[in-house]
Structure 1
Amino acid sequence: MDTRRIVITGGPGSGKTALINYLEKEGYPVMHEISRDVILEAQKEGIEQLFLENPILFSEKLLEGRLKQFHEGKNCAAPVLFYDRGMPDVTAYMDFVATHYPENFCETCNEYRYDEIFVLPPWEEIYEQDNERYESFEQAEKIFHFLKSGYENFGYKIHEVPVGTIKDRVEYILNHLKNTP
């Protein structure tokens, strides 16, 4: 049986990481978000906001890391594997900042496919800015729309996860997966 690759995505501060951590605590295999690692690595090199200073380099590092996660997913023996963001997030963010990117970004997104995409909508009550999350809530709302259209442009059907407790959100996702072959 092949492992189903499930992406959890959404704008900054929408609860993705909390949801992924909950799934992991419940025993599901997950691939964690790597953008904070890329940001922290750049900050150690003296680049405060790599995405703002060099969006192409930042995005190349993200795409490379997410492709590596995709390949690592081949070793998963579980029925499902959850990803905190997928490769099309990279192009969606580039579209958000209106920055042209190399064609290989789209080629990679088209070649390496996920099975289901769940997007979390903006949720102002839980939104917080921090050292790595510099976007305003209004920007997070715009990013959400770019993410939805970005995945749809790659031919994915998007499942919008309702706002609610982590347990309710996980239940929504798991029920959908249980009822979809």
Structure 2
Amino acid sequence: MNRLVLISGCSGGEKSTLLAELAARGHAVVEEPGRRIVKRELEGDGAALPWVDMVAFAHRAIQMAMADHTAAREQAGWTFFDRGLIDAAAALQHLTGEPVLEKLSVAHRYHQRVFLTPPWPEIYTTDPERRHGFDEAVAEYDRLAAIYPMLGYDIVMLPKIAIADRADFILDCLSRETRQP
């Protein structure tokens, strides 16, 4: 069984906070490639920042997400990803029209269920690593919500509830699946 679980969706939907909760419960987690790239770029020359060169940023995110996927296959138990390869490939395809999604998503499959954080304007904030506005976040969310089913994934929408309850929700969904014959 594929135990590599994507948590994707709208920026500012508390994905990172949710992954911190899952990590605190002993699960392996993989931080969002985009945030790691932005941190490194802000410390360096900044050439691949999303607000400087989004195409270069997307290419780096794809490379990082592929490496993350490969490394996580060795983990025992569930591994939770804050975004991943499909999000990065979707961004590149949206920007350039380059048909990368299907090719990359076939070679690097995640668990069948993808958990999406819906747009949540009441909690949305920007920060030094997330400079885009809420409207841009919703547009990205809409693209992802359409892309995942086209690639054969089942979407599970995360309810707008407390982080601990969201973690319980995800773990319950996955445990019910493993109990079925």
TM-score by length of 1: 0.89
Whole-angstrom distance in 1 between the partners of 2:136 and 2:54: 16
Aligned position for 1:142: 139
1:175 aligns with 2:168: no
The answer for unaligned runs of 5 or more in structure 2 is none
Whole-angstrom distance in 1 between the partners of 2:95 and 2:2: 34
- How big is the shift at 1:141? 1.6
- How big is the shift at 1:139? 1.7
Deviations 1:87-113 (A, max 9, x none): 110133345xx4115444541122110
Query: After alignment, is 100-109 or 50-59 more displaced?
Result: 100-109
The answer for unaligned runs of 5 or more in structure 1 is none
Q: Which among 129, 133, 142 is matched to residue 130 of structure 2?
A: 133
Amino acid in the other structure paired with 2:89: T
- The root-mean-square deviation of aligned C-alpha atoms, in Å, is 1.9
Aligned position for 2:82: 84
Whole-angstrom distance in 2 between the partners of 1:142 and 1:103: 19
Aligned position for 1:8: 7
The answer as to whether partners of 2:8 and 2:82 remain within 8 angstroms in 1 is yes
Aligned position for 1:154: 151
SS of residue in 2 equivalent to 1:63:
helix
Whole-angstrom distance in 2 between the partners of 1:133 and 1:25: 24
- How big is the shift at 1:49? 6.7
- Give the share of equivalent positions with the same residue, in percent: 26
TM-score by length of 2: 0.89
Aligned position for 1:28: 27
- How big is the shift at 1:166? 0.5
Runs of 4+ in structure 1 deviating by more than 3 angstroms, as ranges, are 101-106
SS of residue in 1 equivalent to 2:152:
coil
Whole-angstrom distance in 1 between the partners of 2:22 and 2:121: 23
Whole-angstrom distance in 2 between the partners of 1:104 and 1:92: 8
- How big is the shift at 1:40? 2.5
Deviations 1:54-107 (A, max 9, x none): 2221111101111111111122022x1111112110133345xx4115444541
When the two structures are aligned, how many residues end up with a matched partner?
A: 177
Deviations 1:4-47 (A, max 9, x none): 11111112110100000000001111111121221122233333
